[in-house]
Amino acid sequence: MSSSPLRYRVIVNPWAGRGAGQRLLPRMADLLAGLHYDLVVTEYPRHATELAAAAATRGGYDAVVAVGGDGTVLEVLNGLIGTEIPLAVLPIGSGNDFVKPLGIPRDLQAAALLLWDGRARRIDLGRTGSTYFGNGLGIGFDAQVANEARRLPRLAGLTLYLVALWRTAWRFRAPPMTISFDGRETRGRYLMANVANGRCLAANFWLAPQAEMDDGLFDLCLIRHMPLPLFFYHIPKVFKGKHTRLREVTMARARSVQVETAWPVPVHADGEILAEATTFLEVEIVPSALRVLCPAPDCGERVR
């Protein structure tokens, strides 16, 4: 195989996947053998954003590779906003939800092969305040699940999120919410309002199974309060995206969303906690905001 003409900045989060990034470091040279790249390791929260922004503005790189989970991807894409530098992902996180609708393999060797092909696809991003996100944002129950997951350092993958969900289900109080989107409004006690750009959340919860990352629209999944036994009865449906027709669930599409809550609740973006407690949130879609390396034929646009 001949050397790739493309040059990559590779950003590794050593804490991703409960330390999977640190364990991967000795293998990176073999994984990326033959590619033109330089590798940097994050040292503190939001460091990946700084490293990606520096790579995009300094020049000389054709793409930035996020080696980590959805949180690492979130940080890197925020560093690439406003540039034409594409994002590539080697997924090693607990959920890896961002890569699923894009067809990016979970197998690292297969994902690394995309760096040789060098094809990119434009996708939408969401924005709330100054933060951009790629997969989805949630206020309420799912954000509290993400919060609980941070407190379970010994678990990973679906098991991590199931334990966090169990803990949250017994403690979370669904607040009255006013949810406005594209001229519509709904009110009631809601467990959560999820604003999805991608389809999957928390490793295997297909909250928005019809979402497309390049259609200029969010897919909303609004889940009303329900008795706890009924909640647990319905949970398996979410694993297959079969919850969308439940009477407690409202699915919709929108370009912008505003949420007001009667008391403070947490907010997450791509599984990362943005606020421990808030009562108001505004979110908007930013069409075609990011280029992402992913498999052909979905990606027909050459990096350069």
Per-residue pLDDT, 117: 85
Task: With a cut of 70, say whether residue 5 has pLDDT above it.
Answer: yes
b (16+ CB within 10 A) / e for 45-78: eebbbbbbbebbeeeebbbbbbbbbbbbbbbbbb
> At 298, is the pLDDT very low, low, confident or very high (cuts 50, 70, 90)?
low
Quote the crossing angle between the two packed helices 157-171 and 141-149, to the nearest 10°. Answer: 120
The HSE-up count of residue 153 (CA atoms within 13 Å, CB side) is 2
**Could you count the other beta carbons within 10 Å of the beta carbon of residue 170?**
7
> At 296, is the pLDDT very low, low, confident or very high (cuts 50, 70, 90)?
low
Helix (H) or strand (E) holding 151: none
Per-residue pLDDT, 2: 43
Q: Do 147 and 266 contact (CB within 8 A), yes or no?
A: yes
Report the distance separating Cα 47 and Cα 117, nearest Å.
Answer: 28
**Could you count the other beta carbons within 10 Å of the beta carbon of residue 19?**
13
Which burial class, exposed, middle or buried, applies to 227 when counting CB atoms under 10 A from its CB (0-12, 13-18, 19+)?
A: exposed
Per-residue pLDDT, 258: 98
Give the percent of the chain with pLDDT over 90. 85
Q: What confidence tens digit (pLDDT) does each residue in 37-66 have?
A: 999 999 999 999 999 999 999 878 999 999
Name the range with the highest mean pLDDT among 56-60, 94-98, 193-197: 193-197
Could you tell me which residues are beta bridge partners of residue 7?
A: 36
pTM, entire model? 0.93
> At 95, is the pLDDT very low, low, confident or very high (cuts 50, 70, 90)?
confident
Q: Do 259 and 194 contact (CB within 8 A), yes or no?
A: no
Which structural domains are found in the chain, ordered by start? 7-118 (3.40.50.10330), 133-287 (2.60.200.40)
Q: Which carries the bigger pLDDT value, residue 281 or residue 149?
A: 281
The HSE-up count of residue 137 (CA atoms within 13 Å, CB side) is 26
Which burial class, exposed, middle or buried, applies to 263 when counting CB atoms under 10 A from its CB (0-12, 13-18, 19+)?
A: exposed
